[in-house]
Chain A
């Protein structure tokens, strides 16, 4: 009998050991009694050298509540697409949830409707800068959920346009010496490409993100810049997704023209995850690329602190607004995106985190230097006129674009539809017919949003 008892005890112990590991996880997050703010952002591989790290660290060191709070850096080293997946996984559980998280504004509606983010209405109502118009109204809209509440504090935005190499366009005869390039329709772009192809050697005329691997950049920088330029949007005004239309076909036709005529880069260069870096850090600065459709942050690469410094980039390159398809009003088009600080619903230090965000966004503390190093457009109206910010090459122009900028749909299905767009674009540039690509897109969208929420124009 005694033996049986021993065995029973042993069995019990081994069973309890199985579950013990689960229990020990719920240990307190705080260290020597102080609350901790856990900060999660995307690490592009540069660790503490990157601005999203330095900014928060400097911000914390200059914060007057520094002694009452611990800061825990919890970067996610991942590609942009994988970052959203990892964030969603982290936010869904209180044990892994950070207290401060960088959210892309297009991903925000998704995480809001999943209930992952804290409603900041009661916080911003007592945040003077927010209510006094120190933030651009369009940026405040970008962080407002479908329910009309605020879910993040925007810290950067961006606009997109056509970057061109002045020397190449002059050599090709597109512009005269010292002239600015100002295409007024898609045909102007194709003409310029044809001239570059005919009159220069070893130069890729045109580059735009075109693959699934480049993720959101393909949807936003390429497809939506084209589609919005026809006057159409992804959704109709009554909220139905458009799955087939002449404008969609025209946008895909433009891409087909680029690649079929050999104006684009070789597909093995553009269909991988490094494509944006390859163009911005290699081909464009090395005079091997004429025109590239990209965002304002591209200048961050060419600054002396960037990965591919170009001393005279302000005069060597030019920025032209993306024209509408046939030059119809408003004449030019751009999309604006941006990132925001959000507080997860599962955070255990919401009040403190919000105070920390206010400190981070203070131009007199660390915001100004951070936004300059990010190479992005500021979200605060009181930073725009500061000379140190405004004198950066191209920023006046890119900020000007913001006035007519459009945004991606504030719809929690957008990020899934976006991958369908990337598939459609990649299949067209790899030779699938426009008909087949659009019909596949239709099926993908129906699967995501349901038959009743789509429409054919």
Chain B
């Protein structure tokens, strides 16, 4: 075979590869790249859902961003988002990890009872979780009924501690995901390593912190990142439970974005908030990938 025909074969092969990629690329461009650029563009306009700006919207430069960053409610939303994020992450990861850890050496019956209980919160659609938790934490709900049987006065959960309540709901919803991740990671930690550590005289706690956890570091990072991204996007749960209130005590960025963009009809401002949300997600992703990358 001559050099020439070899080149043609190579070209054909490359062409074949690229043609097969066309549908995937078209999907990416159509449903991902274009919307992102449109969002960026709209965030610089005064586009509205209805009213005169719906018909003739204009390019208004950085005005949306300027008003957004001088708006105390925006900063409050960022703050609420961080509290919600950190609270959910700590709860989901810790509970998820310890459930997985303690279930490890238990017998099958125990595992088949505890596992599904935790999974129940995860397999339920978000809105069902929200309704269940609303009924549970309502002033005349299950939680207060339980407290009353123990002669503890009821608490107005959704009103007095709204942020704590939605975080608890989100933890209940998301713990199973962490648990599954950690279960598979712990299963991969070779028992010979931990046994060796025990033989060398390490206590259980030392083995856990010095041997097991370092072994599953990558899973911890990946799990935290996935949880971060899904928690940043939580909307339905909070919206159905508190509507972002009372006041704006549970108004996180997605709620605020919905409020400005769809309830106030100011789509331009809504997309500008969306950009901030995107940025927060990007920052966290970079941090996690950096910590992950250093290990390699």
Contact = CB atoms under 8 A, between A and B. Distances in A.
A114 B55 contact: yes
Interface stretch (B22-30, B100-108, B181-189, B219-227): B22-30
Interface string B1-39: 000000000001001100110110011001000000000
Contacts of B23: 11, 14-15, 18
A415 interface: yes
A264 interface: no
B65 to A, nearest CB: 12
Contacts of B246: 211, 267-268, 271, 426, 430
B50 A268 contact: no
Interface in A1-53: 3-4, 7-8, 11, 14-15, 18
Contacts of A212: 243-245
Contact of A113 (B12, B55, B73, B160): B55
A271 B250 CA distance: 13
A215 to B, nearest CB: 9
A415 to B, nearest CB: 7
B12 A4 contact: yes
B198 interface: no
B210 interface: no
Nearest to A430: B247
Interface in A135-172: none
Contact of A416 (B22, B159, B243, B265): B265
Interface in A242-293: 266-268, 271-273
Interface in A407-445: 412-413, 415-416, 419, 423, 426-427, 430, 440, 443
A272 B266 contact: no
A111 interface: yes
Nearest to B68: A447
Contact of B49 (A85, A213, A447): A85
Contacts of B71: 443, 447
A21 B71 CA distance: 42
B247 A427 contact: yes
B291 interface: no
Nearest to B160: A268
B16 A7 contact: yes
Contact of A85 (B12, B22, B248, B265): B265
Interface string B247-273: 110000000000100111110000000
A440 B27 CA distance: 44
- Residue in B27, B30, B50, B248 whose Cβ sees the most chain A Cβ within 10 Å: B50
A412 B52 contact: yes
B201 interface: no
Contacts of B26: 15, 18
Interface in A90-146: 91-92, 107, 110-111, 113-116
A268 B264 contact: no
Contact of B67 (A11, A113, A423, A447): A447
B12 A7 contact: no
A88 interface: yes
B219 to A, nearest CB: 36
B50 A211 contact: no
Nearest to A107: B50
Contact of B22 (A11, A111, A115, A267): A11
B153 interface: no
18 contacts: A7-B16, A18-B30, A81-B263, A85-B265, A92-B50, A92-B54, A110-B51, A114-B48, A114-B49, A114-B51, A114-B52, A211-B245, A267-B246, A271-B159, A272-B243, A416-B51, A426-B247, A448-B266
Given A85-B263, A426-B246, 9 more contacts: A8-B19, A18-B30, A85-B265, A107-B50, A212-B244, A416-B266, A423-B248, A426-B245, A427-B247
Q: Which 7 A-B pairs have the closest CB atoms?
A: A268-B159, A114-B54, A113-B52, A88-B50, A114-B50, A14-B23, A412-B51
